[in-house]
Amino acid sequence: MSAFIAVAERGSFSRAAVELCIAQSALSKRVRRLEQRTGAVLLERRARGVVLTPVGEAFLQRALALVEEANYLERHLSSAIQVPAGEVSIALPRRSAGLIAPRIVERCRLEIPRVRLNLLEGTAANVHGWMVRGEADVALTYNADLGAGFRVLPFMSERLVLFSSPGLALQHFGIEGPPRVCAVQDLSRVPLILPRKPDVVRVLVERLAAGHGFKPNVVFEADGLSTIRGMVEYGQGMALLSLSTSWNYSVEQGRLVAIPFSSPLVSWKLHLAHSLRSEGGAAVSRVFEIVRREAIALRECPTFPARRRRAWPIFRLARGTASWRPAARPRVSLPS
C-alpha cells in the first residue's frame, strides 16, 4: 500500500522509485501484486505517467488511513521499552506561553531528560501554521482544523470581550459609561480592528455576523497583538480577545475598558494537539502528556487569565474632560 500511495501521489512510477530509493521494476511489481490481491485495476498506465481509476481513488483514501495507523502503532507500541529521546518542538500561544512554558520545561527536565525541547511562541495563526507545516510536534492551539495526521483534544472554552478606549466607548455607548454587556449585533456598528483571515478571531467574527445577517464593521486589519492593543488604546478602533495579562493591565490602568458579550457564542476554544507523523513517537507522546497535565494544572490556577473573575471598574466622565476615570468601587463583574 505504501508503494501504491507513492506512485499515486507522484503520478509516475519513475519519480516514486527515485523517492523510495528502489528499482522501478520492483516498485511496479509491488503495485501489480496489490492489484491482484484486491482484484481491481487501481492505476491506469499512460505514456507520461499514471492516473488513478475510480476504484483507485476510493482505495487511496482508505490506504492512507491504514498506512498512517500502521506507522503510528509501529512507533508507539515500542515506547514502553524505549527511553524517550530526541528533539520535540512545542508551539504555544503568546498569551499563555509565559505561564505554562516554565512548568513544561521543568517537568520534562525531571521526567524525560534525554528529550530536547524547542519552544515556539506566537499568535494563534502562527501556532496553526507551525503545526500544519510540520515545524511543531505538540501545540496549544485555538484552531482545531489541522487535518489528518493529528490528534486533537478539546481543552477549554474562553469568552471573548470587546476592548475599547474609554473615549471611543463613550462615543459609541453613551455618556453613562460602557455597558455591562454588548450584543453580537454591535459588531455591525462599532469600528473593529481585526487580524486578517485565517486568524481564528476574524473567522469567528465573520461567522457570527453572517449568522445574524450583517457584516462586521472592520476599519483596520492588523496581525500583531501589540499593534492592535496600541491602536485600540489610541482610540482608532475596538478589538475582540479573551483576557490576558497585558490587556488586563491596560484595563486596570484605565487605558482600556473591557465589555463582555451577552451571547456565549462569542468565545474561542483552546485545543491540545500533537502530530502523529513526527519522528520519535515515544518522545512526542510523553511531551504531549506532560503538556496536557500542566495545561490542566494551569487552567485551575487563579493567576491564569481565563480563570479570573475580576470586577471591571465602572468609568465615569471626568468633569471638564472628554475622558473617563475609574470610579472608586468596581461594580461590573466579567462572566466566567
Tens-digit pLDDT profile for residues 296-336? 887 776 555 555 443 334 344 344 444 444 444 334 344 44
| Cα–Cα distance list, 160 to 25, 97, 230, 269, 285 (Å) | 59, 19, 18, 10, 31
pLDDT per position as a tens digit, 114-134? 899 999 998 888 898 899 888
pLDDT value for 75 = 61
Q: Are the C-beta atoms of residues 241 and 201 closer than 8 Å to each other? A: yes
Maximum mean pLDDT: which of 12-16, 198-202, 248-252, 311-315: 12-16
Residue in 172, 178, 100 with CA at minimum distance from that of residue 140: 100
Instruction: DSSP letter for 244, please.
Output: -
Stretch among 88-97, 102-111, 187-196, 213-222 having the lowest mean pLDDT: 88-97
Is the pLDDT at 231 greater than 90? The verdict is yes
pLDDT value for 330 = 39
pLDDT value for 303 = 54
SS3 content of the chain, % helix, strand, coil (to 5): 45, 25, 30
